[in-house]
Structure formats: C-alpha cells, structure tokens
Structure 1
Amino acid sequence: MGSLRGLRLAAGNCFRLYERNASSSLRLTRNSDLKRITGFCTKPQESSKASSNPYSHRVPLHKPTDWERKILIWSGRFKKEDEIPETISFEMLDAAKNKLRVKVSYVMIALTVAGCILMIIEGKKAARRNESLTSLNLEKKARLREEAALKAKTE
C-alpha cells in the first residue's frame, strides 16, 4: 500500500510540474513576458527612453529617385512632380509600381489583340491573292533549282 501511495504522490507532483510549465507557456503566448522565458531577473525598461523618440513607430520613409518620381506621376498618384513630397513611404511606392504594372499589362494585352486582328486581316488578303505558304515554298524551290541548273551549265 505504501508504494502505491508513493507512486500516486510522484505522479501528482509530475502532473503539477507539467501543469505549471504548460500554464506558464500559455501565459507567454498571451503576453510576452521575457522574465519567465529566461528565468533571470531583469530590470524593467525605463519609460523615459520609450517616450523620448516619438517617431519609433513610424513607417520608414524613402527619398524617391527621378525614375520613381516618374512612376508616381504615371501611376496617377500625383498630378505634377511638384506635388511629390521629399520623402514617401515604401508602401506608397509599391502601390504606385503595382498600379503602373497593371496599366502596362493592359496595354500589352490590347497590343496583342490588335496584332492578332491585323494578322487575320493580312492572312485573308493573302488568301484572296491565292498566296499560301505552300505555293510560296514551291516557287522558291523552283527558282533555286533553275539557278542551280544555270550555274551547272556555266561551269
């Protein structure tokens, strides 16, 4: 009986330790408490350092180049180059590039469709003139044979 009781106590202690570790890891996921992770004592961060830099949470800004300024204008973000500020966010630049990329793809789609229509029209005109690739190849081969025969006679 005594060994069974000791076994229960050991199992209970192991379960409590496991429960304690599991609950502390759950607490860490809710709020990141670095003291629990490392197990060392740490000094609390001073609030004066955090408040001294009011721009700590701002988006990093970028000074646009001349090419990026043209992209901002072509994308429709700004009307004139004078309206573009000295520094812009990377998100604004990415959005302008994406908008310009979409516009270029629309132009390429339109040019492809126009090229296909043009080729269809030219093909129908050639068919009316009885021009086909087969007839053109036969004429070319006949011409090459005649030139080869003339060359053989002259030699």
Structure 2
Amino acid sequence: MSLFFRRVLLQSNFPFKHVGSTQCNFSHTSLRLDKPAVTSDTESKKPDNPLNVLHGGRNHKVDNLEKRFLVWSGKYKRMEDVPPTVSQETMEKARNKARIKISNYMMVGTILACVIFVYSGKQAAKRGESVTKMNLDWHQEVNKAEAETK
C-alpha cells in the first residue's frame, strides 16, 4: 500500500482504521472495521443508485412551496404524491424549471405591459396630453400658490 493511499485511508471518513507498523514494510499491516457494516435497518435501506448516495440520497425535506414546484415541474402528478424527502438533485431540477417558467411568464407580462403603455401614450397624444404640458401646468399652480402666500 502506497503512502498516498495510507494517508487517504487514515485522514478520510472511512470506517477503517490502520492497524500495524508505520514503517514501509506493510507485510504485517491489516485493516479492521471500527464500526459494524450495518448498524440499523435504516442504513441497510439506502438507495441502489450510486449517484443518489454520492449526492446524499433522499435528504432534502420538502416544504409546501417546494411541493408545488415539484408538481409544477412535472415530477409528480399531485401534491399528495410528493414524499416528505427527496434528493437534492431532484429539488434543484424542479427549482430550475420553476425559475425558468416564472422568468418566461415575467417576460411575456413585460412585453404586454409595454404594448399597453405605448397604446395608452398614443391615445394621450391624440387628446393633446403630454408630460411637458402637465409639468408646466403644475409649475404654474405652484407659482400662483407662492404668490398668494407672499
């Protein structure tokens, strides 16, 4: 066993502990388990997918808003179908889909608002209303009010 792998095993969170000499002769070196392989039923029921194990498995507790995101993104059909915990990767995908949908709706809403304001501005221009005229009228009223108070 090389020095690198020995350091990795000793400094990592592996449940193994190095037993034996610290010299370069590893003929008497062995590995022993500090903890039993399976301590309870919950640990033995880990997901089969190794990617879920790497990403923490089903460790994200889902609140009511996140359940709505999961349903809205199409992962589940109804809010009752959403389990109390899901994987972090699933939750991130649902958040990203919801974020994209919300931004698309906001873009459409912004475009509609722009069209409505352009239309109302053209109608105001036909009536002879303008921001400059409104500003001049307001200044005249303020100047009259100041002249009367003096």
TM-score by length of 2: 0.64
Greater helix proportion: 1
Aligned-pair CA distance for 1:107: 1.0
| Total equivalences in the alignment | 123
Partner of 2:6: 34
Letter in 1 for 2:130: S
Counterpart of 2:30?
43
1:17-48 per-residue CA deviation (whole Å, 9 max, x = no partner) reads xxxxxxxxxx99xxx7438x9993442456xx
Letter in 1 for 2:57: P
From 85, 88, 94, the counterpart of 1:87: 85
Q: Using the TM superposition, give the Cα deviation of residue 91 of structure 1 relative to its aligned residue in structure 2, in angstroms.
A: 0.7
Note the residue ranges of structure 2 that are not aligned, 5 or more in a row.
Answer: 11-20
The structural deviation recorded for 1:50 is 5.8
1:67 — aligned with what? 65
Higher Cα radius of gyration: 1
Q: How far apart, in 2, do the equivalents of 1:110 and 1:45 lie?
A: 63
Aligned alpha-carbon RMSD (Å): 3.3
Q: Which residue of 1 aligns with 2:13?
A: none
* CA 1:50–1:133: 2 relative to 1, 3 Å: same
Shift of 1:103: 0.7
The amino acid of 1:140's aligned partner reads W
Counterpart of 2:30 in structure 1: which amino acid? K
Q: Sequence identity, in percent?
A: 28
Distance 1:51 1:146, change over 3 A: closer
Moved >4 Å (runs of 4+): 49-54
